[in-house]
Structure formats: C-alpha cells, structure tokens
Amino acid sequence: MPSHLDHRQTLRRQLRQTRRNLSSVEQLLAAENLLESFKQYLSDIDAPESKAIKNVALYLANDGEISPHVLCQYFWQQGINTYLPVIQNKQLAFALYSEKSIWQENIYGIKEPMTEHYLAKEELDIVLLPLVGFDADGGRLGMGGGFYDRTFEGKQSTEKPLLIGLAHDCQQVKSLPIEGWDVPLQAFVTPTQVIKV
C-alpha cells in the first residue's frame, strides 16, 4: 500500500511536469495576471495594513514556477523593499534584492544575492512563496527541501509575516496530504483567483 509520503512524491512529480509544460507565452501572461490578482488581495485586506507594507520577500522563478517578476517591478514602483531567500544552515535568510544585486548560485543552481546583511524574518510584512501544489484549506506542497517550513516553524497565523503562496491555477488540487511539519499559509494567489485561508 503506498504511503502518505509516496503519494506526495508522485503528486509532486505530476504537478512539476504540468507547470513545466506551460509555454513561455502562457508563463508571461500568468505573471502579468498575477499582479492583478495580488492587487485584488491587497484591496481586500484592511487599508491601513496594506499601506504599511514596507518589506516583501519573493523568489526567482525556477522549474516552471509562476514568476513574480511583474509583482517585483510593482513593488519597486511603490517604494517597497524586496528580498530574496538565501539558504543558510537548512533555513532561509532574506537578502535585499535590487537591480544592483551581485549574484552567487546556491547548491540548487538558483541565484542568490551576495551579502552579509539580512533582514530578520519578523521584519518582513509578506513572504511570497513558490509551491508545487496547493489546496483551498491552506495546504502547500513544496519542492521537498523543507526550507520554508523550517524557517517559519512555530509561526502563528497572526504573527508577521503573511505567508502567501503563488501558483498557476493548474497547480490546485482538491486535497493535499499534509504532514505535521508543513507550515500553513494565509492565502494563495493565482492568475485568476485569491484564496484566503
């Protein structure tokens, strides 16, 4: 009988292939529509809270992930600081991301800003996370490294930062097998919808 973890691995392979199958035109359109969905999310949360956003972490898209590059440009236009995750001791630190960033590659071949100065995770207002799959109950299936789960282990939903998953619509599943170490998210944003958990 297949185990819970086997099911997660099978699902992870299927969903990664699904998002990799999207064309470059579909990816670009998804990134542009993601901005409109995210603006809708901001308009739905309390106005003072949305105006207080100063620091947002996002990611560089990889392996068919939906790209937050259009969102990033929007943040820069709004004077919002953007940060990228940097792997440190099996957790994530957050380095300032700008057009002047100097790059290095991590163990997965993903670019990270080179710096010795990081923002404490509690000082982030929003963290936009990549994911492989998600469900409407707040379940997130990641790549399997556990970096976000370890970084935000024990975080209460009322504490900063807001954890928001970004995904293509094709990555939504009816129900995900959840493990005890999975950190739940507060919302998911796709090119066509906002799901608040």
Return the CATH number at 42: 3.40.50.10420
Looking at the 3D structure of the chain, how many domains does it have? 1
Q: What is the pLDDT of residue 34?
A: 97
- Encode pLDDT of 98-143 as tens digits: 888 889 888 888 889 988 889 999 999 999 999 999 998 888 888 8
Query: Binning pLDDT at 50, 70 and 90, where does residue 1 land?
Result: very low
**Pair 164, 41: CB distance under 8 Å:** yes
- Dihedral, 38, 135, 128, 24 alpha carbons, nearest 10: -70
Distances (CA, A) of 39 to 8, 19, 132: 32, 23, 23
pLDDT for res 172: 94
Q: What is the mean pLDDT of the chain?
A: 88
- Which range of residues forms the domain containing residue 110? 4-196
